[in-house]
Homo-oligomer: A and B are copies of this chain.
Amino acid sequence: VLKQLLAAALTASLLTGPVSTSEGGKPAREAIGKTMEAYIAAFNAGDPAAVTALYDDSATVEDPAGSVPRKGKQAIKRFYETVCGRGSKLEPVSINPATDGSGAMLFQIRAKAATVNVIDVMTFNGASKITSMKAYSAISSAPQ
């Protein structure tokens, strides 16, 4: 029984990670999760200023992954003015914050022509503002 309990505890630890803390200026997992949820809500409200407000002043946005990152709030706001202007909506599938001030989430972008799975990987400062975002898109469209 002890062995089973130990195995279960190990599994739980591997699956969910250690309990979140806010040590060393790192935001708690729950705080990161809230910023990610606020990001999707602001995007879907078509509000580039609200999305930009979730970023740190010197943040970078690399979208798509492999492109030259946009740096700073002005460039980031311009980016979201363009993207939000298209009327696409984000449907969250999984929001996965970590204990080290980073997080990843998968959402579907629903545009007129297609639905695409996108994974955003983000880092955060102690105030849970986004310091970097990198977007990984699926090569092919997801089934509609």
Q: Which residues of A approach B to under 8 Å, CB–CB?
A: 7-8, 10-11, 13-18, 29-30, 33, 63-67, 82-83, 86, 93-100, 102-106, 109, 111, 113-114, 116-119, 121, 136-139, 142
Q: Which residues of B contact A104 (CB under 8 A)?
A: 65, 104, 119, 121, 136
* Minimum CB–CB distance for A6 against chain B, Å: 12
- Known pairs A18-B67, A137-B16; A96 contacts B121 (CB<8 A): no
How many Å lie between the Cα of A38 and that of B111 in the bound state?
31
Complex alpha-carbon distance, A118 and B119, angstroms: 11
Whether A66 lies near B137 (C-beta < 8 A) is no
**How far apart are A46's CB and chain B's nearest CB, in angstroms?**
16
Point out the residues of chain B lying under 8 angstroms from A111, CB to CB: 11, 15
In the bound complex, CA of A136 to CA of B121 (Å): 10
**What's the least CB distance linking A33 to chain B, in Å?**
7
Chain B contacts for A118, CB-based, 8 A: 15, 96
Q: How far is the CB of A42 from chain B (nearest CB, A)?
A: 18
Residues of the B chain whose Cβ atoms lie less than 8 Å from the Cβ of A13: 64
